Chain A
Amino acid sequence: MDFDFTPEQLSFKQEIIKFAQNELNNNIIKRDEECIFPHDNWKKCAEFGILGLPFPPEYGGSHADIVTTMLAMEGLGYGCKDSGLIFALNAQMWSIQSPIWEFGSSRQKDKYLKKLCLGEIIGAHGMTEPDSGSDAFSLKTTARREGNYYFLNGTKTFVSNAPVADIFVVFATTDRSKGFMGITAFILEKGFPGLTVGKEIKKMGLRTSLMAELIMENCQVPIENRLGEEGMGAAIFNSSMEWERSCILGSNVGSMERQLETCIKYARERKQFNRSISKFQSVANKIVDMKVRLETSRLILYKIAWLKQRGQDAVMDAALAKLYLSEAWVQSCLDAIQIHGGYGYTTEFEVERDLRDAISGKIYSGTSEIQRNIIARRLGL
């Protein structure tokens, strides 16, 4: 494995860090408290080129390779304290833009992909339903074809970006008898007859990324808005998840590094019993464990980038990375709070927000339990 970054890649990472530190951290405590989606910062990220990173120039992207993309996401996580914004960007990039790019028709790419990359429209992904979460392919939403239209009926829940989205990639069954191979993906536009965005769902963390239900009641979808062929939904969904599991974690590695530096600084400055608390092994050891988690997470992450760059299967490695990084990030957040003591529990010190944001990583894009199932299967169990 070769993780040697070019000077250009490292310089681009530094540019992203500077951009994020200067432009994306404004009023974060207030925005988190009031669940405000940062439209302006979203536009700034698009203008900087983050949303278009791996996508072709003709669709507003810069065709960056996966290693550059992961490095950039790591820089974003380091510089940007708004994990909700980072999550929302990743949700759009990997579960909307990526499948449209990979499976969309020329018309769909022309109509949607460029606008998504340029931040002119926002996308949301609807898979989870009230009765199907981890067992994603047992979904109940149906799509019935009549002439040149499909009619979709069902409810999607936990749809990230839904309250601010202009388009939705939604999965429905077109033939229940075929099970997971009877699932088909569709691109829905806000304003399609029969499509309603439900009320916003409040949550523990990632509060600047808004979430809602999506209700389809005989929602009329033109046939040209079917994404891929009938029955390709599972392949499209799996492909999105592999990208998302790999790349969304890049930002977590950056956040872990920022948090480690914050803890080292605090532990050196904070004095108890006439000494810096960093001189007490119980504190120093926690920081050392955070460093070990950071470095092992980074290695796992860049192994995926290396595998995908070579066109190799990375399903198990993506599951390993998702499982390990999300749990490592939560543990480091708990350690960071403990190191900060009472201050760590306060909103003002911004350490507790990281923990609230981190916990979701063990749930979204497949829970830790599902990642273990994937790994077990790949081990032949």
Chain B
Amino acid sequence: MDTVNEVKNFIFSELAYDYPKDTISLEDDLLSQGIIDSMGIMQLVNFIEEKFGIRVTPEDVIPENFHSLQALKEFIEKKQKK
């Protein structure tokens, strides 16, 4: 499964399981829609660290890296290259 689908599956099975996931596009804002909230972000960080074998520092937890599926994909792939 590719990065986007791994992350999307986690978000819509754990954090926003009552949200219709098929309506979300790559660029949709996950923060302003409340799909990722202040409690969910910590779970998402744990998931990304375990699933993709990368370390997410508090400095990484900024809107630029988490606001959409596309941003998350780019962030994870950038971290994996380091």
Contact = CB atoms under 8 A, between A and B. Distances in A.
Given A238-B38, A374-B39, A179 B59 contact: no
Contacts of A313: 46
B31 A315 contact: no
Interface string B46-82: 1000000000001101110011000000000000000
Contact of A377 (B43, B61, B62): B43
Interface in A212-263: 228-229, 231-232, 234-236, 238-239
A380 B14 contact: yes
Interface residue range, chain B: 10 to 19
B42 interface: yes
B28 interface: no
B32 interface: yes
A182 interface: yes
B39 A232 contact: no
A144 to B, nearest CB: 18
Interface of B: 14, 17, 31-32, 37-43, 46, 58-59, 61-63, 66-67
B58 A228 contact: yes
Nearest to B42: A315
Contacts of A234: 38, 41, 61
A103 B32 contact: no
Contacts of B58: 102-103, 228, 232, 235-236, 239
29 contacts: A102-B58, A103-B58, A137-B38, A178-B32, A178-B63, A179-B31, A179-B32, A180-B31, A180-B41, A181-B31, A181-B62, A181-B63, A181-B66, A181-B67, A228-B59, A231-B62, A231-B63, A232-B58, A232-B59, A234-B61, A235-B61, A238-B38, A238-B42, A374-B39, A377-B39, A377-B40, A377-B43, A380-B14, A380-B17
Interface in A39-81: none
Interface in A177-204: 177-182
A373 interface: yes
Which of A137, A181, A229, A377 is the most central at the interface, judged by chain B CB atoms within 10 Å of its CB? A181
A229 B40 contact: no
A282 B43 CA distance: 45
B19 to A, nearest CB: 14
The 7 closest A-B pairs by CB, nearest first: A235-B58, A180-B38, A181-B63, A235-B61, A178-B63, A231-B62, A137-B38
Contacts of A373: 39
A233 to B, nearest CB: 10
A177 B32 contact: yes
A236 B61 CA distance: 10
A231 B60 CA distance: 10
Nearest to B61: A235
A362 to B, nearest CB: 20
A182 B63 contact: yes
Nearest to A137: B38
A313 B42 CA distance: 10
A377 B42 CA distance: 11
A182 B62 CA distance: 8
Contacts of A177: 32
